[in-house]
Structures are given as structure tokens and as C-alpha cells.
Structure 1
Amino acid sequence: MAKSKVSCQKKTLRVAVVGVGLAGAALASFLKSVPDIEVQLYERSKTHRKVGAWLGLTPTAQNLLEQICGEETVESICDRTYGKPVLRHWKTGEVRFQPEQIPDDLTREEKKRVRATANTVRQDLHQILLDRVPDEQIHMGMKAVDFLVHDGQVTVLFEDNSLIEADLLIVSDGINSKLRAKVYPQIKPRHLPTLQYIETFDRAELIKTIPNLPTGVTHFINGDTLAFIGDVGRNRLGLILCLPADPKEAENWGWAKGAGTRRLEYLRSIYKDWNPLILQILEYSKDMGVFPISRGVWLDSLVIQGSVCFVGDSAHPTGAALGAGCSFAFEDSQTLSLALNHAHTKAGNWSPEAVKFALDLYDSARRSHLCKIFKLLEREDMKFNGIIKDEAMLEEERKEKAKGTAWLTNFDPVSEFSAVLESGTVTEPEVLKTVSRKSWFGAIANIRTTLFKKTKGAN
């Protein structure tokens, strides 16, 4: 009787997404592939923040973004690279490393296979994602402050004392997640002893008086002080300055605050003996933003109570996460959509059991990869904590470096999800055993071409 009830009574899955940053906006598009679903998104800000931080997109992030927005749209907002950045001496500008240029006659598909980072600006990336989400799905000025799971449903409480009911709550409210704090109050991201200063400029304006502006991305490094200059799409040049700072000072800055005149003078004094190019660009500064870097302990499980899950920075709170934080959020979003699709395929309808099964699949598919990344970040953070690495640690580090970073930058969520299904590590509830495993693997073989049919049709 239970099977008959699950499969015959058609039900729409009510999904509430709290937080409409990059993760939430991407998730809204990925969820379009899931049958019988109603998605509503809630954002605490009254307007979307137009913060222009320089963002790097790994090849994985580029591929997933193109599935949502199309290759031409992604191309229009970013500058693609095909190798490591140029490294110059911090003072003389002497080239210390020059990547090989890719051949001019490579086809489009061949170029895809050798992609490195694509550089863009956060507000442009956010906008092309928001463009794919109907306005009526997004509710602005709605700050979620608490939630309660009961009888397979979730009640979300907002600051204005309003309530909403959902069958699934997806938390994507960022690195300082308010809802995560309700469950894990001990996870409090700490500020690292460094500050980033970021600004973008009109390249055409700069080149009038700085004719030797480099193309691509160039790094200048002097100990713990760094400068990055690079093209970030739409004929803009980005500048990132990284300086050591007291963590308490970093905490006082908040996020994306304006540097102000006095801080700009301070930066000019720090970089006065560096390559003149940096000071020349700083002379054009009008809107330098200050960006502290904070990191917290990652969640052991991305799901709780069978009806709630975390994606993006709320799940793995890490600023400057190996240049791949945006990719992690997109990977979470696609994996969750795969898990929900699979659970619906198996059950034929939605039920609390189907939702829990989907969330368990999502957690299992993401956990191994995320644990590997967290271990890498822990080693990276040792220098910030003054920990001296012993010989065993150094040897492990050398082995990891020898393996390269393709596992991180060219990750395939579909393959990882398929591997979890093949392994059978997530137990399928008896009530859902209505569709054979063979039928699902026949479907997943074509998932790259079918998953976003609805998204493309809507656009």
C-alpha cells in the first residue's frame, strides 16, 4: 500500500532556497531539470549587491556555467587563459616564468581541453545567472533567521516574523550563514592575517598613459606581499593587492568596504619600491574595495534532518579557496539536481523518503571530493598559524604537487555522482524500489545533453 501511495498520488516538491548569491542563483537554474518541483528563493538584501571583485573560474566552473548560460554569454563577461600566469620580479619586472602560448590554429573544442582560469567580475557573473531566474521566484528583503523540521516539512522563520513552509530547505546564505549557525554555532569563520585590495579599471583609459600594460595575467610576489594584474573581460583590467594584516584589523573591515583616501596612500607607500606599473595603476584608483579572507571548519555532513541541505560557502566556508570557491558552489548545485532527479526517477513521485534519499546521495557524492580539498587547505593554512611542517608533511606535500591539480580544476560532478550510484553506498529505501538500476544508468549516460533542456527552452 505504501508503494501505491507514493507512486500514484502526484505531489509537487516545494523547495525554499535561502540566499541568492552565486550558489543560489546557479542552483535555481540547475533545479529546472527536476520534475514536479516549485522553487522559491529568498534573499536578505533588498537589492542584489553590485560588488565588483575579481573572480577566477576554473575549467570546471566554466563548463558548468556554460551549461546554464551558454558559451557565448560566458565568453562575453570573462577573459580566458590557457596556462599559468606570467611571473615577474616584484621590483625589476624581469620575467621569471612565461607560459607557453597555445597554437593559433586550435579548434574551439581543442581550446576547451586546454583551458586554464577564466577571469571575470563577480557582479557580471551574478547577473548572467540572475537573468536565467524568473523575477517572481526571487523574494528580496527576506532575511531567514531560523527553521524547524517537523513531519517531513520545514518551516522557515524570517526577521519580519513571516513564515513559509517547504518540503526541502536549501541553505546557500554564504560564508557567515545565519541558518548554519543555528545548527552548528561552534563553526565561526576566522579571519586570516591578510587583506586583499581589489579594483577593476577601464583598460582603454589606462592605456592612454600606461602604454606598456600587460595582457593576460601577471603576478608580482615579494614574500607575503603580492600584486596581481590581469584582464577580467569586457576590456577591463583587474588589480589585486595582498598584504599581511592583523586578523582583528581584517575583522573590523567587514567585506567589500571602500579603502578610502588614507588607505590608498598607505598602499602607495607599501608599493613605492615595486615595479612602477603598480603605482601607475593605483593613480587611477576610484573605488578600491577591501576584502578580508575568512575560513571556517567545513561541515562533516551537508544534510541534516532529512529535509535540509547546505550548498556553497554555507557548506564549506572558505574565502580564497584555491581559486575554486565558485566552482565548488556550482558543483554542489549540479550534484544536488542530479540527486533529486535520481530520487524522483526511482520513486515516480515526491515523498519525505524520496527527499531524504536524494539528500543522502548528494552528501555522499560531494563528501569525498570536499574532504580532499579541505585537507589541502589545512596544509596551506599552517603558515598562517605559525606551524612548522615536519619532514613527513613536506614529503606528502611534494607528492601531492607532483600529481598536479587537474583533480581540482577539471572535476566532473556527473562522473562522481555516477560512481556513487555504482558503489551502492547509499541505501535505497524499500518504498522507492519501483524503478530498476539499469533504467537509471541508461538515462544518466545522456545526462549532459538532456539535463538543461528546460533551461535552454526557457531562454
Structure 2
Amino acid sequence: MGGSAVVVGGGIGGLSAALGLRLIGWEVTVVERAPVLADAGAGISLHANGLRALDALGVGEAVRAAARPQYTGGTRTPGGGWLARMDGAALERELGTPIVGIPRAVLHRLLRTALPAEAVVVGAEVTSVDHSDPARVRIPLGDTVLDADLVVAADGVNSRLRARLFPDHPGPAYSGSTVLRAITERPVDLRTDFELTWGKGAEFGHIAFADGRAEWHAVLNSPVGVRHSDALAEMRRRFGDWHAPIPALLEATRPDAVLHHDINELATDLPTFTAGRIVLLGDAAHAMTPNLGQGACQALEDAATLAGALATERTVDSALTRYDTERRPRSQSVARAARQAGRMGQQLTHPLAIAVRNTALRLAPSGATVRTILRHADWTPPSLD
């Protein structure tokens, strides 16, 4: 079964969906409202499920070549004590790959360059769709109208298409946490590939990259909308006395490199990921907190699953039913687990609760961290050959 599709949104999920659809013989146009695809962003960790999806989409080898495996690291206290160690080698034995770290901009560029340039339209905004015809979708786009067999809504946590399709849904909700992050300007001497450090209502972490630079992030309990005139100075004030290499990571960062976003999520599950010939994908469908590192991985799973369903089902409608059946329970379950991980991790503030959690982590068996990751990362994509 072939057809034509319009993908709304040129982020990781949208580009991945386009790659999958093209692999199974569909004509695809990606519409992105930003005037330039600037390959911006900080860093990202990809678990085995995300890497397997990228393999199915045909870009896994290129992503692995640009990424740094995460073999060492874990979770620490602000004073430097270890709460839990990460065993990347054990994950590799179980899943065939460790977790890898890569700049988000590099991943985005690899996805984009795997598509023909003419398949991506920038500086154009989709604000509405006409899906009154059960077999076709019409998309007004400036002075033209695109006709397609399928529209993939991959327009992010603040998806306008989701709001139109589900007007009674409350939409994204503030999680209670805000995140500041940046990539260092120069390489930093790091002893581990990945770390998280939990303090009172705060988390600081880093992801090491193949070129020696690193991404760091700071997640804070905060009222919504709070911003700082000098974000880097605020990070030095909050985290300057935490263990090494945190001060060095901040020292290696330019003030204008710090990004600051409130963390919003779809705390209320959608009843379906499809509406006629429109399908929701990625954050538009299941925006989640970053506490499990699964947001992008779930979008990549969406893309591979959608392509697999369309490749094997007899009709578009049956393919979308299968996509919803397979993706909605899993992605919403991962989102709930991420929310709970945040509440038991970074968001804790009561000293007794923090002490109990830390003691439990220290006493947990050595394989507990691996088993926790396996619960979400052990996923097999469909074949798109």
C-alpha cells in the first residue's frame, strides 16, 4: 500500500515519520513553521529502543557513528557519594547496545539529510486541516492546498492540530519543574559518560559527547514562568558547591548558550491517537517529563510503528487502528512511569523522604538499575524492508 502524506512538524518525530513513510514507498512532505531548520538544542540520550527504531528507519549506523556510548556513570548526591551505578556493559549484553549520548542538533541533522531537500518545506504553518472526506485530507497552506491520504501531526507538546481534534482535552500541563541546559564550549575532563545528581528539589546531570564536549542540565522545582537575567550565574549560585565536575561544566559554558524551558506534559491521556486520516505522533500524542530519557525514543518508536502498520495492513484505516492499539498503551505507560520517576527523584524536597530514597538506592541489588532501564528500552521494531 502506497500513498501520500503530509507531516506537520520538522522535529525528531516528524522527520523520523517521514523517513519511515518514504521507506515503504509513500510520497511525503514535511511542513515546518520555523523559517530555518537551525539544528538547535542541547543533548540527548538514546536507549536501545530508540536506536533500534533508527535502525529500522535506515539511519541507525550513522547515529551510532556520531554518538558516544554511555558505559560509566550513575546517580550521586551533591557531595559526590554514589547512590547507584550505571553498567553500560551489562545493558549492551542484554540489549546489544549501551545507551548513547549525542547532541540533539547532530541527530536532527542526520535525520534531515537522509530526506530529499524538496521533501521539507520550512516557514509554512499548518493551522487547520479539512478531514471531512473520510479518504482524503486537505491542508490549507498559504495560497495552496495540499491533498493527502494521511496527515501526521508531529507538532510538539503545544500541538495546534491536537487542540483542534480534541477541543475538550485540557492540553499540556506544567509538571512543576523547569530545566536549564547547555552544551559546553570546549571539552571537559570527565570521568564518566553520564551522571545525575539529586539534591533537594533539584537535579544536575551531564551527557558526554564524542568530541569531548558535554551537555549539562539542571532541573529545578519552580513556579511556572520564572526566568533569570543571568541564567549561568544563577546555575553557579545553585550548583557551584556541588561535586566535580559540575563547577567545571558550568565554567566551560558560554552565558548565551544556556537554554531555559518549563517542562510541560500531557498529564491527561488522550483517548485515541487518531482522528480519521490524521494521526498524532511524538510529543503531540504523549508529551512526557524527561526523567526516564524516553521522550525522543518513544517518538522514534511511533515513527517505526506507523510505517510498519502502513506497510502491512490492507487499508490506511486499519493501519491507523493498529498504530493506536500498539502505541497508545505503551507510550502512555512510559509517560506515567516518567512522571513517577520525577516525583521520587528530582522533585523530592522533604529531608526524610530524600533519606529513605537514598538509602533504598544504596541498598538495591547491583542489577536493579539495569532492570529498570530494560523495562522500557527492550522493544523490537517492525521490519520495514
- The 1:295/1:126 distance shift into structure 2, 3 A limit, reads same
* Structure 1 counterpart of 2:269: 298
Task: Measure the CA separation in 2 of the matches of 1:13 and 1:20.
Answer: 20
Equivalent runs, 1:335-350 vs 2, <5 Å: 335-343=305-313, 346=314
Deviation (angstroms), 1:272: 3.2
Q: Does 1:131 align with 2:113?
A: yes
* Structure 2 counterpart of 1:89: 77
Deviation (angstroms), 1:300: 1.6
TM-score (norm 2): 0.84
1:267 to 235, 239, 256: 235
Higher RCO (CA-CA < 8 Å; seq separation 6+): 2
Q: Does 1:332 align with 2:302?
A: yes
**Paired letter, 2:273:** L
**Paired letter, 2:270:** L
* Structure 1 counterpart of 2:54: 65
Say which SS state the counterpart of residue 55 (structure 1) adopts: strand
Task: Measure the CA separation in 2 of the matches of 1:312 and 1:110.
Answer: 26
- The 1:294/1:150 distance shift into structure 2, 3 A limit, reads same
* Structure 2 counterpart of 1:367: 328
Task: Measure the CA separation in 1 of the matches of 2:85 and 2:337.
Answer: 26
What runs of 5+ residues in structure 2 fail to find an aligned partner?
350-356, 358-363
Structure 2 contact 305–381 (Cα < 8 Å) conserved? yes
Superposition CA RMSD, Å: 2.9
Deviation (angstroms), 1:317: 2.0
Deviation (angstroms), 1:380: 4.6
- The 1:298/1:232 distance shift into structure 2, 3 A limit, reads farther
- The 1:406/1:111 distance shift into structure 2, 3 A limit, reads closer
- The 1:169/1:320 distance shift into structure 2, 3 A limit, reads same
Deviation (angstroms), 1:328: 0.8
Aligned identity (percent) is: 22
* Structure 2 counterpart of 1:210: none
**1:5-30 alpha-carbon deviations (Å, 9 max, x no partner):** xxxxxx96221111111011111111
- The 1:368/1:314 distance shift into structure 2, 3 A limit, reads same
Deviation (angstroms), 1:292: 1.8
Pairs aligned (count): 361
Structure 1 contact 50–123 (Cα < 8 Å) conserved? yes
* Structure 2 counterpart of 1:166: 148
Structure 2 contact 31–124 (Cα < 8 Å) conserved? yes
Task: Measure the CA separation in 1 of the matches of 2:123 and 2:186.
Answer: 36
* Structure 1 counterpart of 2:354: none
* Structure 2 counterpart of 1:21: 11
- The 1:70/1:189 distance shift into structure 2, 3 A limit, reads closer
**Paired letter, 2:120:** I
* Structure 1 counterpart of 2:177: 194
**Paired letter, 1:267:** M
1:358 to 319, 342, 356: 319
Task: Measure the CA separation in 1 of the matches of 2:36 and 2:77.
Answer: 42
**1:87-119 alpha-carbon deviations (Å, 9 max, x no partner):** 33312x34444445749xxxxx96573534211
1:38 to 20, 27, 30: 27
TM-score (norm 1): 0.71
Say which SS state the counterpart of residue 64 (structure 1) adopts: helix
**Paired letter, 2:220:** L
Q: Greater shift after overlay, 46-55 or 18-27?
A: 46-55
**Paired letter, 1:247:** V
Structure 2 contact 59–111 (Cα < 8 Å) conserved? no
Structure 1 contact 198–238 (Cα < 8 Å) conserved? yes
